[in-house]
Structure 1
Amino acid sequence: MTGEHMTEQSRTIVVTGAASGIGARISLRLARPGDQLFIHTRANSDGLERIAETLRDQGCTVETGLWDLAETGAGRRLVEAVQAAFGGIDVMVQNAGYANRSPLGEATDAEFEAAHGAIARAFFEMSGASMDALKASPMGRVIAIGAFGPHVWRTNAPVFPATAAAKASLEATAKALALQLAPDGVTVNVVAPGFIEKEPGTHMALTPESIAQSHAVIPMGRHGTMEEVAAVVEFLASKDAGYVTGQVIHVNGGLV
């Protein structure tokens, strides 16, 4: 079923958390001339506009949005804004979120709720609100950015209880959505990065000491790059990934 918003040359793409880091790399990697992109950030409007201008220079039509996805209903409002701007959705990437280092016993209710709001509830809301648009797309794709936190529990690796719980919930939602949308040819997958290099000046989930120690627990002996994560997302958003759905794909250098 072909919607007016997508032709052989163009797609409507949504990326949350796109002002910097992995989200910015994903936006730039997915974009092709003629595509329509809706990119989001919570507060980094300057960074988002820089990415938007780069995308426009690449021949894309770009709309931007600022939302705190931790707020109830923000995920639905974002999807509504995308549909109002472009009339549909072909590729949706939920990347927004952050790592909370507070251990159990110290993490507050507010920290727990913020992590779940921005990560799990936002994806839950976006999933429900976008289902009809994804079904109408000739090649609907959903990619959620997970984390190693729900899968790696070691005494010599960092633990992020609130964030890990939120990412586990995100994975469950993605699997449910994959099951529901499979008959319509829509694929839904999770990309779970391991330790990934960050841009200077951005939020760091690890202390400098932890970063140095982390290389010892990675079989490949190094941190991954944001481009390596974006490359996997690019594949999952492509026609070639049409038979891959309901999966959690780890990009972590062999971390177990």
Structure 2
Amino acid sequence: MAAIALVSGAAQGIGFACAQALAEDGYKVVLADIKPSVVDAASRLNGIGMICDMGDVDAITAMFDEIEATHGPVEALVNNAGIAMPGDFLSYDLAAFDTVLGVNLRGLFVATQRAARTMVENGIEGAIVNMSSINAQVAIPAIPAYCASKGGVMQLTKVAALALAKHNIRVNAVGPGSIDTEMMAGVNANPEAYKMAMSRTPLGRAGSAREIGDVVAFLCSRKASYVTGETIYVDGGRLGLNYVVS
């Protein structure tokens, strides 16, 4: 029987690309998303689609209960679901701040803890990959909650890796840079905005969702058996750049 991998935020974009890469590696993939279209996305991979709000603790718990009862324990977890909710810093709404952290950080913690408990109980040497961002290191003033949450993801990844190392459960994160997804559609449609974004990306192009998915699949594989507690930045060289190309 194929091992089960669960990917949240998997209806499209990076999440779907992660699910696709894991399916190609032989996993039976559960694709979870708040969007009903996740069911159709799952069917394209011969996977399982589940509608779940990753900001809802009870919904996350119920999803794991159903997966385990019907398909078996999750052996690879990809916490990809995330939201940004931009706004002006001085007037940023606290409810929006809480909503972003609820999905991006609290929901990620709940899913990680729930998956890890079952892995430990069953002696599974599993892998957990969290979706961070270059905004764990650099900031954009219009997305304060998102930046704070991704910094938290980086640290929570380290904490979980240390806590679970004795069980041979590895926990890592991936930090994308400018990736050609729906979130970047507005930039792509504006030549000046795209030029500015690429001026801070040494490789001179946006990354693809599949380029993120392949790194996630690597971290879930035995090829990464001695990697834990790390955040791998897949950003075309952006974080190493200390000037902007004109």
The alignment partner of 2:44 has SS state of helix
Worse-matched range after superposition: 25-34 or 125-134: 25-34
Match of 2:9 among 2, 17, 42: 17
Q: How far off its partner does 1:34 sit?
A: 6.2
Deviations 1:42-75 (A, max 9, x none): 12x23x123212211xxxxx32211222234333
Tell me which residue corresponds to 2:136.
Answer: 150
TM value normalised by structure 2: 0.88
1:39 and 2:35 correspond: no
In structure 1, what residue type is equivalent to 2:129? I
In structure 1, what residue type is equivalent to 2:78? V
Tell me which residue corresponds to 2:20.
Answer: 28
1:54 and 2:44 correspond: yes
Worse-matched range after superposition: 233-242 or 217-226: 217-226
Q: How far off its partner does 1:99 sit?
A: 2.4
Pair 1:87–1:103, CA change in 2 (3 A): same
Match of 2:173 among 190, 194, 205: 190
Q: 4+ runs of 1 displaced by more than 6 Å?
A: none
Unaligned runs of at least 5 residues, structure 2: 240-246
Pair 1:224–1:96, CA change in 2 (3 A): same
Tell me which residue corresponds to 1:124.
Answer: 109
The alignment partner of 2:228 has SS state of coil
Pair 1:233–1:31, CA change in 2 (3 A): same
TM value normalised by structure 1: 0.84
1:232 and 2:215 correspond: yes
Alpha-carbon distance between aligned partners in 2 of 1:103 and 1:243, rounded to the nearest angstrom: 42
2:77, 2:112 within 8 Å by CA — same for their partners in 1? Answer: no
In structure 2, what residue type is equivalent to 1:94? N
In structure 2, what residue type is equivalent to 1:128? Q
Tell me which residue corresponds to 2:242.
Answer: none
1:84-103 aligned at under 5 Å gives the runs 84-103=69-88
Alpha-carbon distance between aligned partners in 1 of 2:60 and 2:150, rounded to the nearest angstrom: 16
Alpha-carbon distance between aligned partners in 1 of 2:56 and 2:19, rounded to the nearest angstrom: 24
In structure 1, what residue type is equivalent to 2:158? K
The alignment partner of 1:223 has SS state of coil
2:212, 2:234 within 8 Å by CA — same for their partners in 1? Answer: yes
Identity of aligned residues (%): 28
Deviations 1:86-112 (A, max 9, x none): 221110001001223213113211211
In structure 2, what residue type is equivalent to 1:121? R
Tell me which residue corresponds to 1:165.
Answer: 148
Worse-matched range after superposition: 25-34 or 117-126: 25-34
1:14, 1:91 within 8 Å by CA — same for their partners in 2? Answer: yes
Deviations 1:189-248 (A, max 9, x none): 0000001011xxx34485434333111111212111111111111110111101000001
The alignment partner of 1:236 has SS state of helix
1:211 and 2:211 correspond: no
Q: How well do the aligned residues superpose, as a CA RMSD in angstroms?
A: 2.0
In structure 1, what residue type is equivalent to 2:45? L
Alpha-carbon distance between aligned partners in 1 of 2:57 and 2:73, rounded to the nearest angstrom: 23
Q: How far off its partner does 1:33 sit?
A: 8.0
Unaligned runs of at least 5 residues, structure 1: 1-6, 57-61
Q: How far off its partner does 1:83 sit?
A: 1.5
In structure 2, what residue type is equivalent to 1:25? A
Q: How far off its partner does 1:36 sit?
A: 2.4
In structure 2, what residue type is equivalent to 1:68? D
The alignment partner of 1:101 has SS state of coil
Tell me which residue corresponds to 2:244.
Answer: none
Tell me which residue corresponds to 1:4.
Answer: none
